Amino acid sequence: MTARTSPEASRDIPEATVARLPVYLRALTSLVEAGTRTCSSEELAGAAGVNSAKLRKDLSYLGSYGTRGVGYDVDYLRYQIAREIGVEQDWPVVIVGIGNLGHALANFSGFRSRGFRVVALLDADPSRHDEVVAGIDVRPFADLEAIVREHGVAIGVIATPAVAAQDVADRMVGCGITSILNFAPTVLSVPTGVDVRKVDLSIELQILAYHEQRKAQGEATPATTGPGDPAHHELVREETA
């Protein structure tokens, strides 16, 4: 409607596009590391696993950073996307729940390299407060508010069992955290203005199971299941928003 000729059209980015920007960013970072200077929308789309038209439309929401007849300057585009997402600055993050998953998250190297810094690991279990995980010592959950205030934390990660997740979320919101990444298999209820994204292993597996069952049912199709069959190299859709 109104985003016709606005130069810094950073007001109207669709949610579906926002979800793909990190994918483009990763692909561009790979290209930068490989020494590539420029790339076409076709190449970048291939690396990101999307349609080139969709890629171009997504990028058009950020502005006109390409050159017709040439393509995109890889490093420049990478910077623009990173700035748009907000990962040029460092985001302090707290992780609550240092079980198996919490360990894995704390040790995940992709944090620091992608604009995030784990400033604290919290757990309600006092027996864990001796531990040092990934160079960070585990502190009592009660320290949450002090840590959030000290570091200006806006993003919290919940890696607790399901029963504790809502409590943790409430406390986080109470401390001023406004974005939560939830790994616990439960539905969180939060006030408006707080963003929650969930990562749920069981749900993903069950979605796969549904399609798998469907494949098994419609087994009338001729055998394409041979071991040596690297036929098509097309990408499989997986977006579910």
Partner DNA sequence: GCCGGTTTGTTCTCCCGTTCACAAACTCCT
Partner DNA sequence: AGGAGTTTGTGAACGGGAGAACAAACCGGC
- Residues in 66-105 that interact with DNA by CB under 7 A: 66-72
- The nearer residue to DNA, 109 or 233, going by C-beta atoms, is 233
Of these, 56, 103, 129, 198, which contacts DNA (CB under 7 A)?
56
Applying CB under 8 A, the span of 32-40, 55-63, 120-128, 220-228 interacting with its own copies comes to 220-228
CA 135: distance to chain centroid? 24
Distance CA 41, CA 194 (A): 34
Q: How far is the CB of 69 from its own copies (least distance, A)?
A: 27
Write down the least CB distance from residue 39 to its own copies, Å: 15
State the Cα–Cα distance between residues 68 and 204, nearest whole angstrom: 40
Best CA proximity match to 91, nearest among 157, 29, 32, 30:
157
Residue selected from 28, 39, 93, 121 as contacting its own copies according to rule CB under 8 A:
93
Task: From residue 19, give the alpha-carbon distance in Å to each of 85, 103, 162, 197.
Answer: 10, 26, 26, 11
* Residue numbers 10-39 binding DNA by CB under 7 A: 14-17, 39
Count of chain residues binding DNA (CB under 7 A): 30
- What is the x/- site pattern for its own copies, positions 96-135, by CB under 8 A? ---xxx-xxx-xx-xx--xxx-------------------
Residue with tokens 């200077």: 37
70 binds its own copies (CB under 8 A): no
Tell which residue, 129, 127, 158, 161, has the closest CA to residue 143. 129
Which x/- pattern, by CB under 8 A, does the window 20-39 give for its own copies? -xxx-xxx------------
* Contact status: 215 vs DNA (CB under 7 A): no
Rank residues 68 and 211 by Cβ distance to DNA and give the closer one.
68
Q: Burial code of 32-51, b = ≥16 C-beta within 10 A, e = fewer? A: eeeeeebbebebbbbbbebe
Nearer Cβ to DNA, position 80 or 166? 80
Strand partners, 156: 94, 180
Backbone φ, ψ for residue 212 (5° rounding): -65, -45
What is the binding site for DNA (CB under 7 A)?
4, 14-17, 39-42, 50-54, 56-57, 59-60, 64-72, 239-241
